[in-house]
Copies of this chain bind each other. A is one copy, B any other.
Amino acid sequence: MGGEKHDQEYMKKVNKQMVLQIIKSKGPISRADIARITSMSPTSISRIVGELTELDLVQETEFYSEGVGRKGMLVNVCPESVTSIGIYINRDIVQLGLVDFCGKVVVMNTIPIEPDHHSIDEMLEKIVTGILVLKENPNYKKIIGIGVGMPGIINLEEGKVIFSAQLGWKNIELKRLIGEKTGMKVIIDNTEKLRVLAENLYGASRHSNKSALLSVGSGVGSAVVIDDEVLRGVKNSAGEIGHTTVDPEGMLCECGRRGCLQTYIAESALLKEANKVCRINSIDEIFGAAENNENWATNLLERAAKYIAIAINNIACMYNPDTIILSGRLIEHHPLIVNLIEQKMSYIWEPYEDTFKLVYSELKDEGVLIGAATLALNTYFELN
């Protein structure tokens, strides 16, 4: 059906990316082995490795290939030669880091945000200062661009925050604002899409081709990556599971409708419910109360676990992934909720029980930042 015309230039680029990918995943590796894996000619491989070496992306190592034939020096990536800046904006912290092109965070700074100080002006000042600090790090010269992850509906092409309930932002041209103040290329995306991208490349689902992620923290979201492509939808907002209805007569949601998934599992929702019973200031206090066998806390967390299991079922039914990653602060910081969720697997429709592996975020708090930096790198680092 239709399709683009595959010309020489395009093939060259694809081949170069493939060779780099192989060196990343299998290096140190000989040119001969790369030729064997790719079915390309040794001459082409030598040319491409030469080009990648000139870009400082790969280098020859001290190792030589074994086996018969002429001995060749093995090549490997130089991951830190090229970096990008990843930024994770949330309502209570901003994380900024330099990430190398193998997904490793080489420098990271965290800026706390005080309650009710998350207006765009206050946040932007802190973000820009943080970027300038990273830019001046003498160890990393080649910084390709900036990737920003934040909760909400983000127009990826325009770099515009359409709507973020958690930050209270609406129609903010964040790409332009950061770009103007730093002179760097900027790309913005939604937190869950970046988390799943990072887990898919470097974390819990790196052996999967079709993985979905459910994140539960101050907000609730999901995202899917299929054959290395994030499922975006027409407005980059596929995966907004927090506002799927799981009980039409349920609790009122901030969106004005009833029984949205997030009203049962988002941290803010749990805090509101808990405060109907006693004065509670943090999620940790709820878990503490549950560990002391206080009934209200156990009930609240049991219900949260049930609705998380329902969300897992609905994700399995809708996307049929081979892996479902649970992530987000509520899950990553509280082993108790993990136990409770695993006791609720009867909420999964039977034919799907064995279709996916349930795994937990490996990158945890750093996932958004790594995903954001990687997206910037993939977008702005053109292998020409």
Residues of chain A at the chain B interface (Cβ within 8 Å): 1-3, 5-6, 10-11, 14-15, 17-18, 21, 38-40, 153, 162-163, 209-210, 222, 226, 228, 231-241, 243-249, 255-257, 259-260, 306-307, 310, 313-314, 317-322, 346-347, 349-352, 355-356, 378
Contacts and interface: CB of A to CB of B under 8 A. Distances in A.
A355 B322 CA distance: 29
Given A235-B320, A318-B238, A347 B10 contact: no
Given A21-B1, A38-B5, A245-B347, A321 B234 contact: yes
Given A153-B351, A318-B244, A210 B228 contact: no
Number of copies: 2
19 contacts: A1-B17, A1-B228, A1-B378, A2-B18, A6-B6, A209-B234, A222-B318, A226-B231, A231-B319, A234-B320, A237-B352, A238-B318, A240-B317, A241-B318, A243-B313, A244-B318, A245-B246, A255-B350, A257-B349
A349 B346 CA distance: 29
Contact of A351 (B17, B163, B239, B260): B163
Given A162-B351, A248-B310, A313-B245, A318 B318 contact: yes
Contact of A314 (B245, B306, B356): B245
Contacts of A233: 210, 319-321
A238 B356 CA distance: 12
Contact of A6 (B10, B244, B259, B313): B10
Contacts of A318: 222, 238-241, 244, 314, 318-319
A45 to B, nearest CB: 12
Contact of A347 (B2, B240, B248, B347): B248
Nearest to A165: B351
A14 B3 contact: yes
8 closest A-B pairs (Cβ-Cβ)? A233-B320, A238-B320, A234-B322, A244-B314, A240-B317, A243-B349, A1-B228, A245-B310
A27 to B, nearest CB: 15
A52 B223 CA distance: 42
A5, A153, A233 pick with most chain B CB within 10 angstroms = A233
A14, A243, A347 pick with most chain B CB within 10 angstroms = A243
A350 B351 CA distance: 34
Given A3-B14, A239-B317, 15 more contacts: A2-B17, A209-B234, A232-B320, A234-B322, A237-B317, A238-B318, A239-B318, A244-B313, A246-B246, A246-B247, A246-B248, A248-B306, A256-B350, A257-B349, A314-B318
A153 B352 CA distance: 10
Contacts of A238: 318-320
B14 A6 contact: yes
Contacts of A236: 320
A306 to B, nearest CB: 7
Contacts of A352: 237, 240
A240 B316 CA distance: 9
B5 A39 contact: yes
Contacts of A257: 346-347, 349
B2 A228 contact: yes
